[in-house]
Structure formats: C-alpha cells, structure tokens
Chains A and B, each alone.
Chain A
C-alpha cells in the first residue's frame, strides 16, 4: 500500500509535468502553478539516475556516496540528541513525579513549549560552536545540532513520561503501600512499567523531533558534513543540475525513516507482552 502511494505521487508528478505550463502559470491571478521545465521539475527517473553519477564533474565519488555520508553524519547527531533529550526528559519527569511543587511549577511551561517555535533558537545554539569554552573543553559545532535535537526531543518525553507515571491505578498504589514499599521501589516496580505505553508515542515523537532539530541546525548555519548542508549546496546548483537536490532530499527522508524505524522496532519489543490496546 505504501509503495502504491509512492507510485501514485510519482505518477501525479509526471502528469503535471506533461500538462502543466512550462513557465509557471496563474490561478485566479495568483502565480501559483509551478514551472514544469526540466530545470525546475526534473523527471522522476532522472532523480534516481543522479544517484549513480559523480557528485561533482571530474571527481569520482558518486552522489549516492556523498548523500549517504551526509545522512550518516546527521543520523549520528540525531541519535545523540535523541538519547540526551530522552534521558533528560525521563529524569525530569521522575523529579516532577516525586516533588509535586516542581511539577506544578514546570508542567505549564512544558506544555506551552510544545506550541512555541523553540526552533528559533537554532542559530543561537549553533553559534556557540568553536567559541564557547568550559574549562578546557571547546564546544564543537556539531554538538549544537545534537543539543538542539535533544531540546526538541526532551519536551514530549517529559510530558508523556509524567502522564504515564501518574497513570498507575489507585488500587495498585494501595497494594504497594500495603507492602510498605518505598517511593523508589514503587517507582521501579509499578510506576515505570505503567508508564511504558505512554512513553512509546512520546519517544516516537522525540525521534522525529530530534531529526528535525539536527537538520534545522544544519541548514540554518550550514554545518559541514550533514545532510542539511548538502541540501542547501545542491539547491544552489539546481539551475545547472536539477536532479541533484532531490537525491539529498531522499537522503533526508531515509534518515527520518531510519530513526523512526529503529524506535518503532524498540517499541514493539518493549510492548511485546502487553495486551493490544491504544492509549489515546
């Protein structure tokens, strides 16, 4: 079905190329129809062909190799961001579960933060690269991208984990009390396992947020080595080499899908013994 969808998109693309105006057009006076000339909209097969040919005329690394390298670089940054953000998110959720005053004080900000474009801070954080020093450690530029990814990932994880920790049924909590179990014991034995079904969708969101954070950091300041930078570079060369930018976009898509796939596999593993039901 998914393949059918992709084929459908490709068909629509080619169809429009076939019938659409070469120089773009207007609908009700608004210049909204895109140009269909080959330099603006390359054919679908040309995009795939481009992977095989060299990145730059004269050099001998293929576009595929270049895009794969860029995607791999960004992937590693995303993983760091995801792990960092996830760890901080879970830790904060535990602190909020333990200390009610912290929860009441911070939770409104966490909820609001999901509506505010925190991504605006991207250029700022990236600018720390190479200039910030903490006791002998110079902030590497790539760390900014991961920190941004972590920043975006940590909010949904904190909110979701907190919801899950609070979701333990009252009877189960009473049971643990009847065992004279300490708060930490109850956390490990009851609250965390109860929280898992809530953490699963939160971590899925965190995975894609981390990728977004890293890619945005890369494109806002052209971080060298990542897929974001490649997209910008190839986009600049688009007038001469229109298909190349699409290869980089496919690379970015592959990056996102890989992250999502890994997290989804982990989710299935973690939830393997649970009854099949949805958490709304």
Chain B
C-alpha cells in the first residue's frame, strides 16, 4: 500500500484576485511505504506547498491527498506524520527532553511513558547526555537532530521534511544526511524530503521528483538506482554522479524549455 497518494492536485492562492498565484497544477505522485523521496526544483516551483498540502496545513483547490489510506485531514488529526523545518524550531524555554516530549504531551501520554520514549529518541539521534540542556546550548546540527527526534517521537510512519539541513554548513550537512538515513532505516519511516541541493537529494533518496514553477508541476522523476545502503564511498561512486547528472538535466531541461518559450527571466 502506498504511504502517500496524490491525485490531480491543484493549488491556487488568492483565486480571482489581482495577486492570484497558481502554485501547483495536476500533481500525481505515489510514495511507497518505507521509501525516501525527494522534491527538488527552483524557488517557486511549489515543493514546500506540496509538502504542506500533504501535511494538511493547506487545503487543495482540486484533487486529493491520501496518507496511510486516510484523508490528509484525518492523518493530521491522528498525527500519522512528523514534520521538520529548516529552522529547528525548538522551544527555548523547554529542556531538550521536554522538547522531544511535546507531541507526546499533546497526545495525552503520561509522564513515565513520555520520558521513556524521549530517552529512546535521544539515544537514536546519539545525544543522550543532552536531555537536560536547553536548545540554545546546542549547535545548529545538534538542534536539528533534536528536531528530528521530536518529529519521530510518536513513531509516525511518515516524515515530512522541508530543507531541514539548509542552515547547516557542508560538513555537518553530510554527517546529518548519514544520520538521517541510519535513523530512517531503523524506524522504517517513509520520508518526503524537500531540498535545494542535488547531491543531497541523490544521496538520500530512492527517487527524486524534479519540479518546475509557474505553475508548479512535476517534470521528471529520476530513479536514483543506487543499490544497497549508502556509505562514504557512495559519494564517489560513478552511479552517484550519473544520478546527479540525470537530475541536473531534468532541472536544466525545464529551464531551457522555459527560455525557449520566453517564460524564464532569470
């Protein structure tokens, strides 16, 4: 069964007004259970909008979104997914552990159970000794790891991530990518990941969805085709570069088409 099914999805902002924006048009996508799928594209292609539609933080204008066999609205109410953003967004007045416990509190779990799960997640992201610290005492990368721990605290089957490593430096970024894959392999979570970085998309995903703007649509889906678990060597493998090239061509091709049609003004 697909974890996420998107059919004929349209999203228009400010319909009928002067500042109408046709954010997404005719999106069809299936994400299999346990799959890691990236969304990549230039600014304005609607990838963040698409993510928010899956999260039911926005309502579609047309079409529908199914998560785990339910409507997106129901999935949100049932808290079937966890979300992580570019800013870690931890609450500065709570300790690290209490930050991880936040979704569990809202679900009504009792204190002992919450604490156990929070400690479990701290082990998972390899930061067990920081439970009683406050977020501002941690580095950017560590804060993101806590944000991921929080997103996975309730063991959702789906993880939605909007450029979570965008604010980190390159070395930390590569380290975090490895950690994310390790964690998702352990928890068998489906991941829908928005990024600006081609190597990141290729390294992390089974499939990369290339999107183009005005209006936002899917131009190409690249099957990354890297077998086996990722490692240090993966970044140097030929298959890695081939996949990157495929994605880059997907992005360029769309760019060339736009130029040809006189649409692109970059």
Do A and B bind?
Answer: yes
Binding site for B on A (CB under 8 A): 169, 171-172, 174-175, 177-181, 185, 189-190, 193, 196, 273-275
Given contacts A185-B106, A189-B102, contact A274 B83 (CB under 8 A): no
The CA-CA distance from A267 to B22 in the complex, in Å, is 48
In the A-B complex, the 10 residue pairs with the smallest Cβ-Cβ separation, listed nearest first, are A275-B136, A193-B93, A171-B89, A178-B83, A179-B106, A180-B77, A171-B85, A180-B76, A171-B87, A172-B89
Does B79 count as interface, using CB distance less than 8 angstroms? yes
Tell me whether chain B's interface is mostly helix, strand or loop, or mixed.
Answer: loop
Using Cβ atoms and an 8 Å threshold, which residues of chain B touch A169? 87, 89
Q: Say yes or no: A174 contacts B106, CB within 8 Å.
A: no
Q: Mark B53-66, 1 if CB is under 8 A from A, else 0.
A: 00101000000000
Using Cβ atoms and an 8 Å threshold, which residues of chain B touch A174? 52, 57, 83, 85
Q: Looking across the interface, which residue of chain A has its beta carbon closest to that of B77?
A: A180
A-B contacts, 25 of them at CB < 8 A, read A171-B85, A172-B89, A172-B91, A174-B52, A174-B57, A174-B83, A174-B85, A175-B83, A175-B85, A175-B89, A178-B57, A178-B83, A179-B102, A179-B103, A179-B106, A180-B76, A185-B106, A189-B102, A189-B105, A190-B91, A193-B93, A196-B93, A273-B95, A275-B92, A275-B134
Q: How far is the CB of B163 from chain A (nearest CB, A)?
A: 12
Q: Looking across the interface, which residue of chain B has its beta carbon closest to that of A168?
A: B91
Using Cβ atoms and an 8 Å threshold, which residues of chain B touch A196? 93
Q: Looking across the interface, which residue of chain B has its beta carbon closest to that of A190?
A: B91
Number of interface residues of B (CB under 8 A): 23
The CA-CA distance from A197 to B55 in the complex, in Å, is 31
The CA-CA distance from A175 to B103 in the complex, in Å, is 10
Q: Mark B71-114, 1 if CB is under 8 A from A, else 0.
A: 00000110101010111010111110000001101100000000
* Of B79, B86, B94, B134, the contact of A180 (CB 8 Å cutoff): B79
The CA-CA distance from A178 to B73 in the complex, in Å, is 10
The CA-CA distance from A11 to B106 in the complex, in Å, is 62
The CA-CA distance from A189 to B103 in the complex, in Å, is 11
Tell me the B33-52 residues at the A interface (CB within 8 Å). 52
The CA-CA distance from A171 to B92 in the complex, in Å, is 14
Tell me the B180-204 residues at the A interface (CB within 8 Å). none
Q: Looking across the interface, which residue of chain A has its beta carbon closest to that of B135?
A: A275
Using Cβ atoms and an 8 Å threshold, which residues of chain A touch B136? 275
Using Cβ atoms and an 8 Å threshold, which residues of chain A touch B91? 172, 190, 193
The CA-CA distance from A181 to B86 in the complex, in Å, is 21
Using Cβ atoms and an 8 Å threshold, which residues of chain B touch A178? 55, 57, 76, 81, 83
The CA-CA distance from A275 to B133 in the complex, in Å, is 12
The CA-CA distance from A174 to B89 in the complex, in Å, is 10
Tell me the B209-251 residues at the A interface (CB within 8 Å). none
Q: Looking across the interface, which residue of chain A has its beta carbon closest to that of B103?
A: A179
Q: How far is the CB of A197 from chain B (nearest CB, A)?
A: 9
The CA-CA distance from A45 to B172 in the complex, in Å, is 67
Q: How far is the CB of A189 from chain B (nearest CB, A)?
A: 7
Given contacts A275-B92, A275-B136, contact A181 B87 (CB under 8 A): no
Q: How far is the CB of B38 from chain A (nearest CB, A)?
A: 20
Q: How far is the CB of A127 from chain B (nearest CB, A)?
A: 45
* Of B52, B85, B92, B95, the contact of A274 (CB 8 Å cutoff): B92
The CA-CA distance from A191 to B252 in the complex, in Å, is 44
Q: How far is the CB of B32 from chain A (nearest CB, A)?
A: 23
Using Cβ atoms and an 8 Å threshold, which residues of chain A touch B93? 193, 196, 273-274
Starting from the known contacts A172-B89, A177-B57, A177-B76, 9 additional A-B residue pairs (CB-CB under 8 Å) come to A169-B87, A175-B83, A178-B81, A178-B83, A180-B79, A185-B106, A193-B91, A196-B93, A273-B134
Using Cβ atoms and an 8 Å threshold, which residues of chain B touch A177? 57, 76
Using Cβ atoms and an 8 Å threshold, which residues of chain A touch B92? 274-275
